[in-house]
Amino acid sequence: MKAAKYIMNDMEIQSQHMKTALFHLPPMRALFLAMLIGLAGFGGSLRHALHQPWLGLALEPASDGDGLVVDRVDAAGPGAGILFPGDRLMAIAGANGPWMQLHPSDLIDDPDEHPHFSDYNQFIERQDGLSRILRSEVVRFRLDDGREIRMQPVMHPPWQALSSRFWICQAFAFLTLMISTAVWCLQRQPMATRLLLMSGVGLFIGAVSASLYLGRELALDGETFRWLSTANFSGNRLFAVAGLSLLCIYPAKVVPGSWVVVLAALEGGYLVNLIAQWAEPPVHAYYFDFLLLAGLAVIISLRAWLLSRDEPLHRATLKVLLLPILLSVALVMGVYVLPTIISGAPLMDVSGSYMLLLIMYAGLAFGVARYRLFNIERWWVRSWLWFLLGLSIMSLDFLVITLLHWSPEASLVVSLLLVSWLYFPLRQWLWDRLLHRRSLPLETCLSELVAHFVKPGSDDDDMRFWKNLLHRTFLPASMEIVASPEDRVRLSEDGTRLRIPAFETGRSLELHLPDRGSRLFDKEDARLAQSLLDLARRARIQRQAYQLGMEDERRRIMRDLHDDVGGRLLSLVHSSREAEARRLAREALDSLREVIYFTLEGGSRIAMGDLLGRWRAQLRERLEGVGVQLHWSWDDACDAIMLEARDALNISRILYEGTSNALRHAAPHDIFIEGRVQGQELAVTLTNDGAFTSSDDTGQTGFGGKGIHNIRERTEEMGGRAEFRQEGERFIVRLHFPMEAIDATGSDTRGS
């Protein structure tokens, strides 16, 4: 008892180790293992097919239902020169054995096309009898014209003689196994991918077994045929039950899990009944359950669709999942199952039906690659591509050696040349076609990011740049600003949203569906976004540090000017005995203080209402000192306008230059300065009486002298325009500043 207990424990431990090893098998090794299994199935099938008796005949059922008609005779086969296309074979016999009549039903593709157990068993028995005859040393045929011919079968036919249906089924089996394994090996925990793998394994078993009796020339021995047929309909039912269970639980559970267990148990019982032939099902013994399973698939699909009406992600997943599955199943039911039940003969043979099922796996592979079906990342495509391209190199060398019969040294040289001149360019072309990102290349992102942050800019400039860069990098279907305290990139679980922090505290940019909605975000996108964010933050910090250093240096220079030059001007004001000299020194001191004030303000904004009083006091003091009356009129809307320090300095210099120009050239009695907000403009008007009678130091009048030139230049710097005109004894300067340039809301949009 203890020994048995130890043995059981050891077996359980070994089983657990095998399961753990399987679930931790790297993806490439899992694909390679699946490839080996597929090749083993192909090798075993090929060996069996190449050890069957061969006559070199392609036979068709007679149209009148009596005998078989020769459709084609292989020139290298035993029948060459003995039988010809169009000959009708009525009976077959061994060298000395009894005659066995030939019937069109002997060429039926699949024994489970028979609706009853008795017909199935009779077909297997006839196949066994025909197989024994074909294995005789001499085979006799009786033709419809009474002739009797003899030929000696070949026991090892060439591989070129194998039926195309053999190769089609083998290719289908290999592809379904590889695709289902590729999906499972990258996402092994969800039951959905396990069910998909089970369905692929079921079709692999069914297609490999079917390839042997579909590719037969006339008959197989009965025991082998029965085993192959059992493997075929068992594999097909494993595919059907696993596929239906997949619809029950993915993308969301449609029915309770116990129902799936009951379904599997019932179908398992049905399968056991088919093998044991206890009780014959109604309608069709071998296809009745397929009718029920197809009906259940439609019902479950409709229920899943209705339950997803409030779940847009589930509904989008169902579109990608249901279309290939239901389309392929509907085609197989329409061209094979239903015609067989109704008329006894399908519209398409088994190999063609398998190729229709390939639509489902191709659609699932596309859904995985494009829409992250089963939550598999986009590098699934890359894994497949690397695997297939690596396999192509080995296949190329194998073909050169086997088909051309060259020496290993010569084949190696040719393989290297082909790999260098054909394989690598082809691989790069496929890589660009399948994996190329249509969005902004990384090198362009980096160059634009560096170019932006090496020049001065405001927070608004940075935000506009960041939005534009992310939009061109990922081409999202939509983008919005959301309140979010996160400081790192966040990828939603369903892959539909990517949240990237902005440069404003508590706000982020949320991108929806990249490449204009044609795919989902994945971890690679999140890593790229995080890298760009980290670089942008570092560049921004460096720029801020540089600007702070410049600001400190500017403040130091301004303090030196204030302490040195300002002190000297102040001493000149107090020590000078001439009034004119004192006035000029005071004006120079006021100008210096103003420049220092606005420079030290840096990038901060100043309300115009805080400046109007200062400007008015300075101009009134200056004009009244020379006997000129100042008329000052600004509306209340001007008080709310926010000015950058540079703009404030420009307007101050314009007002000073305008009054100086009037005093210098017109000898006015009154100067009028007005400011109005007119629509989207700030309009400032300077008017003085007295005509311009003198020229400036360049010999030009006030319309073109230095003063007018300075006013125009400062106005244009702010994005505005200046107008100058003489109306009788009055000279008018009218200035227009667009509100976009100075922005009453306090957000600078200059240069946008």
What are 160-190's pLDDT values in tens digits? 899 999 999 999 999 899 888 888 877 776 7
Which residues have C-beta within 8 Å of that of residue 252, sequence separation ≥ 6? 304, 307, 308, 311, 314
- Helices 164-186, 379-404: inter-axial angle, 10-degree rounding: 150
Q: Which tokens belong to 461? A: 């400039």
Cα 38 versus chain centre, distance: 30
Tokens found for residue 404: 């051309």
pLDDT band, very low/low/confident/very high, at 599 (cuts 50, 70, 90)? low
Task: Report the pLDDT value the prediction gives residue 433, as an integer from 0 to 100.
Answer: 55
Single out the residue of 496, 530, 527 nearest to residue 511, CA to CA.
496
Q: Per-residue b/e over 41-65, b at no fewer than 16 CB within 10 Å?
A: bbeebbeebeebbbbbbbbebbeee
User: CB neighbours (10 Å) of residue 544?
Assistant: 11
* pLDDT exceeds 70 at position 750: no
> Please, what's the b/e burial string for 241-254 (b: 16 or more CB within 10 A of its CB; e: otherwise)?
bbbbbbbbbbbeeb
Quick one: pLDDT at residue 747?
A: 40
Domain 51-161: which CATH number of 2.30.42.10, 1.20.1580.10, 1.20.1250.20, 2.60.40.10 = 2.30.42.10
Going by pLDDT thresholds of 50, 70 and 90, the confidence category of residue 665 is confident
Q: How much of the chain is helix, strand and coil, in % rounded to 5?
A: 60, 15, 25
CATH 3.30.565.10 for domain 605-752: yes
Whether 704 has a pLDDT exceeding 70, the answer reads no
| Contact assessment for residue 569 and residue 591, using Cβ atoms and an 8 Å cutoff | no
231: nearest Cα among 51, 111, 331, 123:
111
Of 570, 654, 581, 569, nearest to 619 by C-alpha is 654
Instruction: Give residue-wise pLDDT tens across range 323-342.
Output: 888 889 899 999 999 999 99
Query: Do 294 and 301 contact (CB within 8 A), yes or no?
Result: no
Q: Check residue 251 and give left, alpha or beta (phi > 0: left; psi -120 to 50: alpha).
A: alpha
Nearest alpha-carbon partner for 658 in 737, 595, 724:
724
How large is the average pLDDT for residues 654-682?
A: 86
- Please answer whether residues 231 and 281 qualify as being in contact, where contact means their C-beta atoms are separated by less than 8 angstroms: no
Position 231 scores a pLDDT of: 96
What token pair was written down for 136? 């005789």
Architecture label for domain 437-602: 2-Layer Sandwich (3.30)
Q: What is residue 660's predicted lDDT score, i.e. its pLDDT?
A: 81
For 94-158, where are the E strands, in sequence order? 100-101, 139-143, 148-151
Please check whether residue 89 is in contact with residue 99, taking contact to mean a CB–CB distance below 8 angstroms. no
CA 672 – CA 629 distance, rounded (Å) = 9
Q: Give the pLDDT band of residue 280 (cuts 50, 70, 90).
A: very high
Instruction: With cut-offs at 50, 70 and 90, classify the pLDDT of residue 388.
Output: low
CA–CA gap between residue 173 and residue 572 (Å, rounded)? 102
How far is residue 552's CA from residue 507's CA, in Å, rounded to a whole number?
A: 30
pLDDT value for 749 = 39
The whole-number pLDDT of residue 386 equals 56
CATH classification number, 25-48+163-377, choose in 1.10.10, 3.30.70, 1.10.3470, 1.20.1070: 1.20.1070
Tokens of 339: 């015609």
**Rounded mean pLDDT of 223-233?**
96
Determine the pLDDT at residue 448. 77
DSSP 83: B
Nearest partner of 558 among 598, 587, 618, judged by Cα: 598
Mean pLDDT of 104-132: 94
The Cα–Cα gap between 654 and 684 comes to 10
- Identify the pLDDT of residue 19: 46
Q: What is the DSSP letter of 51?
A: T
Give, in order, the Cα–Cα distances in Å from 747 to each of 380, 605, 608, 611, 736: 47, 9, 15, 19, 19
35-83 pLDDT, tens digit per residue, is 899 999 999 999 999 999 999 999 999 988 889 999 999 999 999 999 9
Share of the chain above pLDDT 90, in %: 33
Average pLDDT over residues 202-225: 94
- Taken as a whole, the chain contains a residue count of 752
pLDDT of residue 560: 53
Neighbour tally for 148: CB within 10 Å: 11
d(CA 706, CA 8): 106
Backbone torsions φ then ψ of 348, nearest 5 degrees: -145, 145
**Average per-residue pLDDT in the chain?**
80
**0.85 cut: is pTM over it?**
no
Q: What is the mean pLDDT of residues 581-609?
A: 62
Q: What is the DSSP string of 573-597?
A: HHH--SHHHHHHHHHHHHHHHHHHH
